[in-house]
Structure 1
Amino acid sequence: MLDRTQERRPMESMDPLHRYHEVLCGRLPFTGSESLEPDDPLMDLGLDSLTIVQLIGDLENAFHIDFPDDLVDADTFATVGSLWVVVQGLLTTRDSAAPGEAAVRT
């Protein structure tokens, strides 16, 4: 996984998983200096209701995606890995959308 001690690079030049981890580490207060693992519970890393709203905004901005309200639930925000699966799905939807469709943010 991602070691937080790695040199920080501009978000746009990072691979998606690295960018995802940077967003999480920038928003969650208890990520520490250790690497994040897929089964790490987000609540143990400091996730609460306000942080969910902030994290959604961070993810939307970092990946140019729209996070649908119906995906904001306990299953999505259970672990580092469960949220990543949802983000990957939104990236796939964004990348496969026909030009001009609403799935792509500007």
Structure 2
Amino acid sequence: MFSKLAAGYDINYAIDGSAEQKLTKAAIVHDKKSGRVMEISTNQPGVQFYTSNTLYQKGKGGFTYKPHAALCLETQGFPDSVNHPSFPSQIVNPGESYKHYMLFKFSNL
């Protein structure tokens, strides 16, 4: 699937309904072959989706992992939010707390 887009994915998605103190479902990943499911919830407004676009890594038994052999989901604020007043602020001032919650839930269908 990822190989259909030559450069892969490296994009930030806005999460509907996210709030600083509330966990909101950000993503669900399902592997049809194994039935494994990973669900991610967060209090952040965005999730970065990246498909290991430049990966070349030797693994166990000499197996080489190539581009798009993995994916990454990073919950976060919006990139470049400091330059966009309409984006949620990522600035933490002295005396303020920063709380970043992320919950991983694994299951098997």
**Structure 2 length normalisation: TM-score?**
0.26
Higher helix proportion: 1
Higher strand proportion: 2
